[in-house]
Amino acid sequence: MFMQSENIPLFPEQASTFAWQVDYLFFYITAICLFFGLGVVLVVLAFAYKYKEQKKFASPRNIHGSLVLEFTWTAIPFVLAMSIFVLGTIVFHNLYSMPQDATEIFVVGKQWMWKFQHGTGQREINELHVPVGRKIKLTMTTEDVIHDVYIPAFRTKADVVPGRFTYLWFEATKPGKYRLFCAEYCGLNHSGMGGWVYVMEQKDFDSWLSGTDADKTPVQAGEDLFNNKLGCASCHAGGDTQRGAKLEGIFGKEVKLVGGNTAQRDEQYLRNSILNPGGQVVEGYQPIMPTFKGQVTEEQLVSLVAYIRSLSPDAASAPSTGSGNGTGTETESEDKAGDDQGDK
């Protein structure tokens, strides 16, 4: 959905095999609603005009009711409602029953990122690449609370429930970039828990699978990884209430670790913290960061470290002055720990 911001979309794009089904269902129900809604409104307006009181406190003729009318306007809505039910259930069935021949992709939701793993082993975060015209089945679970995968352009969504697997399938019909949302409220950064679904031609998808990244500088590539692909930003760039440390201006400084040791924040430190976050926890933080071992390639690690280093432009010269170019003052106070996540 390449929506420019100056456009005001009024109808969502159709990009899956059942998008049109849902849309036709929508039009059908809308037609029924308009029929009844406009009908009643017009009749009320006509009555209001015609029977406007001529005289205060007149007593018009009393009408008790009409059995024929009552049954008519019970039966007609009932029949129409049943027709909606039948059509809706057919669509529901199409959405609900998983095809046997679908390509399976595993999805793990966690506060507040989506992790995908393809059958071929590729992992993605907050981005999902799928080929066009092939049935895809998402097998989903979550590490913490209930989330919900929602791709409006595909007209489908499903809750992702801890402790069990839920499923969702689709077959994309049009290459493009479509929004992915979390639709079940999941806490602090719920609205940030989303990303993009890239639908590609089979050929492009294959070359994506073989894994050549675009030609960006390491810092740009790292920024992209940080903000989008790996979702680091959901914890490390969230303003006052973020769970992870703010990374602006930290590079090159000494830091106190849990247990009393100190460490120099150099490239090696950053690398270790990404791969083995529990190893060097900064005082005042909870060891909640997941490991990214196996999810980042060496190449990506280099880019990430380059990007984080770029957040501290004055690091090389004077590591001891206050905060760097961060948006706020850097205070790694105790109360940050578990700010949003009491018991976990």
Partner 1 sequence: MDNVETNNGGQQEQELNYLNNGHSVRSWLLTRDHKRIALLYVLSVSFFFLVGGIYAGLLRVELLTPQSDLFEAATYNRIFTAHGVIMIFLFLIPAIPATLGNFFVPLLIGAKDLAFPRINLLSWYLYMGGAGLAVWALMQGGVDTGWTFYAPYSTTFSNSYVVMTGLGAFVVGFSSILTGLNFIVTIHTMRAPGMTWFRLPLMIWSHYATSLIMILGTPVVAITIVLLALERIARVGIFDPSIGGDPILFQHLFWFYSHPAVYVMILPAMGVMSELVANFSRKRVFGYEFVAFSSIAIAVIGFLVWGHHLFVSGQSFYAGMVFSILTMIVAVPSAVKVFNWTATLYQGSLSFDTPMIYAYGFLGLFLVGGLTGLFLGTAGMDIHLSDTYFIVSHFHFVMVGGTVMGYLGGIHYWWSKMTGRHYSEFWGKISAMLVFIGFNLTFFPQFILGYLGMPRRYASYPEEFQVLNIFSTLGASVLGVGYGLPVIYLTYSFFFGKKADDNPWKLPGLEWRTSSPPPTENFKETPIVTWEAYDFSEDNGIEIERTPETEVQPSS
Which residues 73-92 are close enough to bind partner 1 by CB under 8 A? Answer: 73-74, 77-78, 81-82, 84-85, 87-92
In the set 122, 166, 228, 280, which binds partner 1 (CB under 8 A)? 166
Nearest approach, Cβ of residue 248 and partner 1 (Å)? 18
Q: Is 249 helix (H, G, I), strand (E, B) or coil?
A: coil
57: which 2 tokens?
Answer: 């406190």
The residue among 142, 126, 134 whose CA lies nearest residue 187 is 142
Nearest approach, Cβ of residue 60 and partner 1 (Å)? 5
> Applying CB under 8 A, does 343 fall inside the site for partner 1?
yes
Task: Compare residues 42 and 316 and give the one whose CB is closer to partner 1.
Answer: 42
Place of tokens 């018991």: 343
In b/e form, how buried is each residue of 99-115, taking b as 16+ CB within 10 angstroms? eeebeebbbbbbbbbbb
> Applying CB under 8 A, does 262 fall inside the site for partner 1?
no
Residue 338: CB partners within 8 Å, gap ≥ 6?
Answer: 286
In the set 106, 123, 132, 144, which binds partner 1 (CB under 8 A)? 144
Nearest approach, Cβ of residue 104 and partner 1 (Å)? 17
User: Which of the ranges 69-77, 121-129, 225-233, 278-286 carries the binding residues for partner 1, by CB under 8 A?
Assistant: 69-77
Task: Compare residues 234 and 312 and give the one whose CB is closer to partner 1.
Answer: 234
> Applying CB under 8 A, does 127 fall inside the site for partner 1?
no
> Applying CB under 8 A, does 139 fall inside the site for partner 1?
no
Can you tell me the distance from the alpha carbon of 143 to that of 136, in angstroms, rounded to the nearest whole number? 22
Nearest approach, Cβ of residue 101 and partner 1 (Å)? 20
Can you tell me the distance from the alpha carbon of 228 to that of 199, in angstroms, rounded to the nearest whole number? 17
Scanning residues 221 to 240, which ones bind partner 1 (CB under 8 A)? Answer: 238-240
Task: Compare residues 9 and 294 and give the one whose CB is closer to partner 1.
Answer: 9
Scanning residues 30 to 49, which ones bind partner 1 (CB under 8 A)? Answer: 32-33, 36-37, 40-41, 43-44, 47-48
Cα–Cα–Cα angle for 333, 330, 231, rounded to 5 degrees: 95
x/- letters, 174..203, toward partner 1 (CB under 8 A): -----x-xxxxxxxxxxxx-----------
β-partners of residue 26 are none
Nearest approach, Cβ of residue 205 and partner 1 (Å)? 24
Do residues 322 and 248 lie in contact, with contact meaning Cβ atoms separated by under 8 Å?
A: no
Nearest approach, Cβ of residue 327 and partner 1 (Å)? 13
**Secondary structure in 3-state letters for 93-131:** HHHHCCCCCCEEEEEEEECCEEEEEECCCCEEECEEEEE
Q: How many residues sit in the footprint of partner 1 (CB under 8 A)?
A: 102
Do residues 133 and 202 lie in contact, with contact meaning Cβ atoms separated by under 8 Å?
A: yes
> Applying CB under 8 A, does 10 fall inside the site for partner 1?
yes
Q: Is 169 helix (H, G, I), strand (E, B) or coil?
A: strand
In the set 109, 111, 130, 249, which binds partner 1 (CB under 8 A)? 111
Can you tell me the distance from the alpha carbon of 123 to that of 107, in angstroms, rounded to the nearest whole number? 10
Q: Is 221 helix (H, G, I), strand (E, B) or coil?
A: helix
In the set 20, 31, 66, 313, which binds partner 1 (CB under 8 A)? 66
Nearest approach, Cβ of residue 254 and partner 1 (Å)? 30
58: which 2 tokens?
Answer: 């007149």
